[in-house]
A and B are shown apart, each in its own frame.
Chain A
Amino acid sequence: MKVKLITGRTLQQGASKEAGKLSEEYFNNVAICELDPSDMEALNISPGQNIIVKTKFGEVVLKAVKSAQAPHKGIVFIPYGPWANLIMDPETHGSGMPSFKGIEAEVFPAKKEDKILTLKEVLEKISGGK
């Protein structure tokens, strides 16, 4: 399904970053993707299931969460953090600011073997793997 991807702050992301950026709480609150309930139905995804979000810049496995800020059909939301940044658009249009909101993306259910990367695995993926 083609969607527009936005990233942003959430209360849980804010509180759990204070608990520690390497904490399990942070991972649980940030390695997620919020979807509109009708989009979840169309994709046959249930809350807690892993999904893949793909952009021109890469793809990332995340846990699907039913959005509490619906309706926003066709828009998916990922909290700021290392997982979102794996697929962000670095284009700044000469402003210094990458495009963190309103990015063309595609969402589909993950396969059973697709796991959410840990923070260390995210960093290894960026560095080109070790």
Chain B
Amino acid sequence: MEKIINNVVCTVCGCCCDDLEVKIKDGKIVEVKNACAVSLSKFQNYNGKERIVKPLIKENGEFKECDLKEAIEKASKILAEAKYPLIYGLSLTSTEAIGKAVELAEALGGVIDNTTSVCHGPSLIGVHDIGSVTCTLGEVKNRADLIIYWASNPVFSHPRHLARYTVFSKGKFRKERRERKLVVVDVRKTATAKLADMFIQVAPNQDYELLSALRMAVKGEEIYLNEVAGVPTSKIEELADLMISCEFGILFFGLGLTMSLGKSRNIDAALSLVRDLNERTKFLIMPMRGHYNVTGANEVIAWQTGYPFAVDFSQGYPRYNPGETTTIELLTRGECDAALIVGSDPAAHFPVSAVKHLMKIPVITIDPHKNATTLISTVVIPTAITGIEAGGTVYRMDGVPLECKKLVEPPLGLKSDEEIITEILVNVKKLKE
């Protein structure tokens, strides 16, 4: 039997493209239309040799297969006995699963953090400081005549962003590429920069200086230097003129601002620049969120605890202090005594000092696939893939919630993240009584 499912939401990056067409034959996905290279790779490989189908428990350094009940009981016991457990990941799962994870963190008196911590964490800290003028991607598509990607290379990181929402999209009021200007600011001439009408090559770690110089130019103040951050002053003034004279501008920024020197201060400067620009024209700003539901992780954790990431329940109430309650510091200081990782691979993406501690404590990983973190885990619980084998809500990078569909059955009746976390929560509550 063959069927085609339309308007499928892609669960790869923060674009959450909702126009995929998936053809299913005899319960298997045989064709996917409208997907980018990364999405296509996901659909082609999700059930490949890296898939985990049986739960695993490590004993004497060796993994042995077990049934789901045993794995969940072992995981619940580890977490319930820990004094200060960490729940981390949560950007590659459904909003419903994230909600359950918050409840679990509260029941455990531990910390819940999501990948924002090592991604756009500084962006959120910047928003706390300055505030943010933003919009939906639909507005950008329909109205924007100036699009700036700063320290972001969407051709690689968000492959359909330009085609669906910005320069190559056909909006209501801006239909053609020539009706929009594209500016790229980056330390390298990236694939995105090659498409730009104006490319500005900024020196590494000097975005703050360049943003500050731009603010001066926008305010009509004279810059007394010939160049700032490796950029000639004339070019900075040219960009400021372009920004002031546009009708609807948007600044999308990437991790080049959050991961380099200055961190949240770079974001303060970018947010302030956009605020200043609104005295002259309409200008907005949006972070290029990476994983498909990292925005959802912030939304859910914020509406349940008041804070978007790095929330500590050890005092019995939610506390938030980036730098103290964020995962990298908790691990580097060696404070957590157990960790539950949901849909993330910190062993591959954290600095050595943090991974070292993860290797010393019991780690439970809920993930459909093998990765560096499953290799160092004590308990590995395989799961149905959100957006393919399980439904659920995800939040696009602009905060628009979208409903993912269940397209096919998971292998061997694997359960969703939400179901697994719910079972752990029920067990933990019993153990904590």
Contact = CB atoms under 8 A, between A and B. Distances in A.
Interface of A: 4, 6-11, 14-16, 18-23, 57-58, 67-72, 75, 77, 80-82, 85-86, 88-90, 92-102, 119-120, 122-123, 126-128
B41 A99 contact: no
The 10 closest A-B pairs by CB, nearest first: A96-B326, A20-B50, A94-B323, A21-B371, A90-B351, A102-B260, A102-B205, A15-B41, A18-B41, A100-B259
A89 B351 contact: yes
Contacts of B205: 4, 101-102
Contact of A88 (B37, B49, B323, B351): B351
A48 to B, nearest CB: 21
A103 B48 CA distance: 36
Nearest to B257: A101
Given A8-B255, A69-B191, 4 more contacts: A14-B37, A96-B118, A96-B121, A98-B328
Nearest to B38: A14
A95 B125 contact: yes
Interface string B148-190: 0000010111010000000000000000000000000001111
Contact of A11 (B156, B261, B264, B310): B156
A40 B277 CA distance: 42
A15 B38 contact: yes
A99 B259 contact: yes
Interface in B1-37: 12-13, 37
5 contacts: A14-B13, A20-B50, A67-B188, A72-B187, A93-B263
A123 B38 CA distance: 26
B311 interface: no
A18 B259 CA distance: 24
B327 interface: yes
Given A88-B351, A98-B118, A127 B188 contact: no
A126 B322 contact: no
A94 B329 CA distance: 8
A14 to B, nearest CB: 4
Given A95-B121, A96-B121, A19 B41 contact: yes
A21 B343 CA distance: 13
A92 B55 CA distance: 35
A9 B347 CA distance: 17
Contacts of B190: 69
| Residue among B117, B118, B327, B351 with most chain A CB within 10 A | B351
Contacts of A10: 156
Nearest to A10: B156
Contact of B204 (A4, A67, A94): A4
A22 B374 CA distance: 11
Contacts of B204: 4, 6, 75, 101-102
